[in-house]
Structure 1
Amino acid sequence: MELGLGALGMMPCAFWSLTPRELQAALAGKFGATGETAAPTRRDLDTLMQRFPDEGSTDGNE
């Protein structure tokens, strides 16, 4: 809210009508790209799930 109303100088009604994607685009326009990275691949997710299983889960599917 601080960024939308303060840094971007938006009116509250305009800020609250934004989608998250629109807010992200407005912030990128004001401050530049944020160094976004690609979403993790399935392999990345599987690796993380093996390294950090949910507590109490024996097969990772619970």
Structure 2
Amino acid sequence: MNAAADSTAAFPWATIMAAGFGLLRLSTRDFWAMTPREICSAFGPPPRDAGPSRPVLELMMQQFPDGPTMNKEQE
């Protein structure tokens, strides 16, 4: 038995296929010819700093303020 057989999480085929066909615009032949490592490499490394800078965050907070918070009696 291998480690993959013990995994309970399903492989995200729908997400990978949507990205391969829609984002990368791969043909069916090219998509299915790729190894999982090649598919992951096609998307590149994850960004190191995916979040907004502090000034950008503050500007967004001013433009889109949170609404009033609900207390237990309002629920």
TM-score (norm 1): 0.46
Bigger radius of gyration, 1 or 2? 2
TM-score (norm 2): 0.39
Higher relative contact order (CA 8 A, sep 6+): 1
